[in-house]
Amino acid sequence: MGEQRMDENRIQAKNVTFRYPEEERNAVDQVSMRVKRGEFLAILGHNGSGKSTLAKLFNALYVPDAGTVLVCGMDTADDELVFDIRQNAGMVFQNPDNQIVATIVEEDVAFGLENNGVPPAEIRTRIDEALRIVNMSEFALKAPHMLSGGQKQRVAIAGILAMKPKVIILDEATAMLDPSGREEVMNTVHRLNREEGISIVIITHYMSEAATADYLVVMDNGKIHMTGTPREVFADVENVRKLGLDVPPMTSLAHDLRQAGIDVRPDVLTVEEMVEEVCRLSSKN
Amino acid sequence: MLNDITLGQYFPGNSPIHRMDPRAKLLLTVVYIVALFLVKSFVGYALSLAFLYLVVRLAKIPFKYLIKGVKPLRFIILFTFLLNLFFLTGEKVLLVLGPFRLTQEALFNALYFSLRLVFLVMGSSVLTLTTSPVQLTDALERILHPLQRFHFPAHELAMMMTIALRFIPTLLDETDKIQKAQMARGADFESGNLIQRAKAMIPLLVPLFVSSFRRANDLAMAMEARCYRGGDHRTRLRELRYTRLDGMAALAVCGFVALIVLEGHFFG
Ligand SMILES: Nc1ncnc2c1ncn2[C@@H]1O[C@H](COP(=O)(O)OP(=O)(O)OP(=O)(O)O)[C@@H](O)[C@H]1O
Ligand SMILES: [Mg+2]
């Protein structure tokens, strides 16, 4: 494999299998996938399908029983590279309260840098920058427990961002937030993807969030069941529903309309697209 | 019930005392407390009070905050006073109360002992009033750092304190929520005798305990994901630096100690 291709893949998983000790079945089973540079990828799947386990394999929190995971070309099985890997593949977790370590926002953002032995002057510039990017500068000296859920998650993102990662993995980072907090976080993540060129992997149960990704990976029982763009995946309404997942509301509506004999496109994702389709049909008649 | 638990008692400000290096403050407070044990007479306590008063004025904190710090300990202080009063022996009997003989020596010693306690609490209050908990943990970690060579877990201790400080508000919030949820289902936390009330706390403590373990687990995972690997080679955002201010404070405290030693010599 050429150097060039290596550089294109932020994360590459090859036939990855992982089983928790004392469990019967593999939590992750023969998974191969990759996250390309600058890509926004979403992982879907019902509860217990192995999404979180896969995310932890991407961050060297777990090491595969079989197969390999490469993060920016580094093998997660190599003990020497663990901290380089974790710095390159940052992770944001579900519960905003349980991932903030320090008693002051800016100190928490500094946590990862302190662990990596970055000199204080550089820590200062990097955390100021990170807080600015997530729009939390004015809260730098606040106590974390005074913040809203969405703000806490943005602080967590800043803490990752300060480490200058190549890819950020968000494991249901919006699951415990209210709609406005969810929007704050999703907007931030999309901006990082667009403006800073950071690859993003989101794990989510919200199909509206998944619909904004470049690429979807649908898991079932530890295996990858479907992949493709949101359009391709959601157009297969029956199959997605069989996996215990929803499709975005407009895709569902398009599906119902088609069953009723109205010839709209099956891969409608957003309200705007649906409006367009309806206008197209009505102008035809 | 939970609202009256305040964490630390930091009184923010920008006085010279506030601006001192927290390590210097911590060490000098220890020196002040040790000096209290050298005091032999009321003159010495007057000196201690004067010194404390000076510091409090410099720090621009109202003196009543120090009194407030002593208040929760008033029963302990009273108890030790009475204990000393009746069980110390001496020559000059002032009063006989049944089996107890109250002597002048005992009275003085009891007074000294209580005063020492009061000043001890007030002295440490000055420290906690002018130093935020974060600065205190920082200072503690760095002061204890040399002991790491002898396997003393200085970094771990400071990290534990930080995490405790970070999670106490979260857990208080959660306790409040669980309590309200239980009350909505008819739980009664307020009436009954001590044992009944303690029993009523069980449905409160069990979920809290369980969730604390989950939080600890999550936090450990999150810390690991952020490259945490213990205290070695770790840098800190905030560096501590001694300044002239700390030198001046050290001199002042040395002066105070010298006075106390002289006092012990002349009045002891
Ligand atoms: N720490 C653990 N020890 C043992 N088994 C585990 C552990 N964590 C997860 N599992 C099991 O591994 C499987 C995959 O779990 P995982 O958490 O990866 O699923 P998930 O897709 O993230 O689910 P969810 O949507 O609920 O977060 C499940 O069967 C789960 O019971
Ligand atoms: Mg999960």
CA A256, A211, A231: angle at the middle one, nearest 5?
60
Residue B224: which residues within 8 A CB-CB, separation 6 or more?
A61, A86
Residue B23 lies in a domain: yes
- CA–CA distance, A253 with A274 (Å, rounded to integer): 9
- Averaged pLDDT score across all residues of chain A: 92
Pairing of strands A167-171, A66-71: unpaired
- CA–CA distance, A105 with A137 (Å, rounded to integer): 10
Residue A124: which residues within 8 A CB-CB, separation 6 or more?
B237
DSSP three-state, residue B100:
strand
Residue A57: count of CB within 10 angstroms of its CB: 25
Residues B110 and B197 in one domain: no
Confidence at residue B2, expressed as pLDDT on a 0 to 100 scale: 40
- Chain B residues with CB-CB distance to A95 below 8 A: 215, 218
CA B94, B97, B101: angle at the middle one, nearest 5?
50
In angstroms, the separation between the Cα of residue A250 and the nearest Cα of chain B is: 36
Question: Among partner residues B133, B165, B234, which is closest to A114 by beta-carbon distance?
Answer: B234
Strand partners, A52: none
Residue B147 lies in a domain: no
Residue from A46, A51, A219 to probe ligand 1 pocket by mutation (most atoms less than 8 Å from CB): A51
* CA B246 to ligand 1 center in whole angstroms: 54
Nearest in space to B166 (alpha carbons), one of B23, B50, B7: B7
Does A125 contact B at CB distance below 8 Å? no
Residue B231 lies in a domain: no
> What residue's CA is closest to ligand 1, atom 14?
A50
Q: Calculate the CA B233 to chain-centre distance.
A: 30
Nearest in space to A156 (alpha carbons), one of A168, A146, A166, A167: A168
Please give the full DSSP string across chain A, using - where no structure is assigned: --HHHHHHEEEEEEEEEE--TT-SS-SEEEEEEEEETT-EEEEE--TTSSHHHHHHHTTTSS--SEEEEEETTEETT-GGGHHHHHHHEEEE-S-GGGG--SSSHHHHHHHHHHHTT--HHHHHHHHHHHHHHTT-GGGTTS-GGGS-HHHHHHHHHHHHHTT--SEEEEESTTTTS-HHHHHHHHHHHHHHHHHS--EEEEE-S-HHHHTTSSEEEEEETTEEEEEE-HHHHHH-HHHHHHTT----HHHHHHHHHHHTT----TT--SHHHHHHHHHHHHHH-
Residues B108 and B157 in one domain: no
Nearest in space to A99 (alpha carbons), one of B229, B130, B228, B136: B228
Residues B112 and B40 in one domain: yes
Question: Among partner residues A86, A145, A163, which is closest to B169 by beta-carbon distance?
Answer: A145
Does A93 contact B at CB distance below 8 Å? yes
* CA A19 to ligand 1 center in whole angstroms: 10
Residues B114 and B177 in one domain: no
Confidence at residue A177, expressed as pLDDT on a 0 to 100 scale: 94
* CA A10 to ligand 2 center in whole angstroms: 21
Mean pLDDT to the nearest integer, A85-103 = 95
- Domains of chain B: total: 2
For ion ligand 2, residues whose CB falls within 5 Å: A 52
Q: In chain A, whose CA is at the least distance from the CA of B231?
A: A115
Q: Which residue has the tokens 């000196």?
A: B47
CA A93, A226, A188: angle at the middle one, nearest 5?
35
All structural domains of chain A with their residue ranges:
2-247
Locate the ligand 1 atom nearest the alpha carbon of residue A52 and give its number: 22
Does A231 contact B at CB distance below 8 Å? no
Pairing of strands A9-18, A66-71: antiparallel
- Chain B residues with CB-CB distance to A84 below 8 A: none
Residues B157 and B102 in one domain: no
Does A120 contact B at CB distance below 8 Å? yes
pLDDT tens, position by position, B21-73: 999 999 999 999 999 999 988 899 999 999 999 999 999 999 888 888 888 88
pLDDT tens, position by position, A172-197: 999 999 999 999 999 999 999 999 99
Contact assessment for residue B175 and residue B208, using Cβ atoms and an 8 Å cutoff: yes
Q: Which residue has the tokens 């964490």?
A: B7
- Chain B residues with CB-CB distance to A143 below 8 A: 169
* CA B1 to ligand 2 center in whole angstroms: 36
* CA B206 to ligand 1 center in whole angstroms: 24
Residues B91 and B48 in one domain: yes
Fold of the domain built from segment(s) A2-247: Rossmann fold (3.40.50)
* CA A46 to ligand 1 center in whole angstroms: 11
Residues B19 and B111 in one domain: yes
Mean pLDDT to the nearest integer, A88-94 = 96
In angstroms, the separation between the Cα of residue B80 and the nearest Cα of chain A is: 37
- CA–CA distance, A83 with A53 (Å, rounded to integer): 19
Q: Find the ligand nearest to A53 CA.
A: 1
Locate the ligand 1 atom nearest the alpha carbon of residue A222 and give its number: 14
Confidence at residue B8, expressed as pLDDT on a 0 to 100 scale: 56
Sheet with A28-36: list strands edge to edge: A28-36, A9-18, A66-71, A74-75
Locate the ligand 1 atom nearest the alpha carbon of residue A205 and give its number: 25
Ligand 1 binding pocket includes A71 (Cβ within 6 Å): no
Per-residue pLDDT of chain B (268 residues; tens, 9 = 90+): 343 334 457 888 899 999 999 999 999 999 999 999 999 888 999 999 999 999 999 999 998 888 888 888 888 899 988 888 887 777 777 777 777 778 888 888 889 989 999 999 999 999 989 998 888 888 999 999 999 889 899 999 999 989 988 898 899 889 888 888 888 888 777 777 888 888 888 888 888 999 999 999 999 999 999 999 988 889 999 889 999 999 999 999 999 999 999 988 887 6
Enter the pTM of the model.
Answer: 0.85
- CA–CA distance, B178 with B172 (Å, rounded to integer): 10
Strand partners, A215: A41
Residues B199 and B97 in one domain: no
Answer yes or no: is pLDDT of A4 > 70. Answer: no
Do the Cβ atoms of B227 and A115 come within 8 Å?
yes
Answer yes or no: is pLDDT of A224 > 50. Answer: yes
Question: Among partner residues B165, B173, B218, which is closest to A98 by beta-carbon distance?
Answer: B218
Ligand 1 binding pocket includes A23 (Cβ within 6 Å): yes
ipTM: 0.90
Residue B214: which residues within 8 A CB-CB, separation 6 or more?
A98
Residues B125 and B19 in one domain: yes
- CA–CA distance, A235 with B137 (Å, rounded to integer): 56
Contact assessment for residue A74 and residue A96, using Cβ atoms and an 8 Å cutoff: no
Residue A220: which residues within 8 A CB-CB, separation 6 or more?
A45, A46, A49, A243
Mean pLDDT to the nearest integer, A227-253 = 90
Strand partners, A71: A11, A74
Does A124 contact B at CB distance below 8 Å? yes
Residues B88 and B179 in one domain: no
- CA–CA distance, A170 with B20 (Å, rounded to integer): 41
pLDDT tens, position by position, A28-82: 999 999 999 999 999 999 999 999 999 999 999 999 999 999 999 999 999 999 9
Residues B66 and B190 in one domain: no
Residue A221: count of CB within 10 angstroms of its CB: 16
- CA–CA distance, B34 with B57 (Å, rounded to integer): 22
- Chain B residues with CB-CB distance to A87 below 8 A: 227
Residue A66: which residues within 8 A CB-CB, separation 6 or more?
A15, A16, A17
Do the Cβ atoms of A103 and B162 come within 8 Å?
yes
DSSP three-state, residue B103:
strand
- Chain A residues with CB-CB distance to B229 below 8 A: 83, 115
- CA–CA distance, A76 with A16 (Å, rounded to integer): 12
Residue B33 lies in a domain: yes
Mean pLDDT to the nearest integer, A83-100 = 95
Residues B117 and B163 in one domain: no
Nearest in space to A41 (alpha carbons), one of A175, A197, A211, A165: A211
CA A114, A124, B137: angle at the middle one, nearest 5?
50
Q: At A7, is the pLDDT very low, low, confident or very high (cuts 50, 70, 90)? A: low
Does A122 contact B at CB distance below 8 Å? no
* CA A172 to ligand 1 center in whole angstroms: 13
Which residues span the domain enclosing B21? 8-131+242-267
Confidence at residue B3, expressed as pLDDT on a 0 to 100 scale: 38
- CA–CA distance, A214 with A41 (Å, rounded to integer): 6
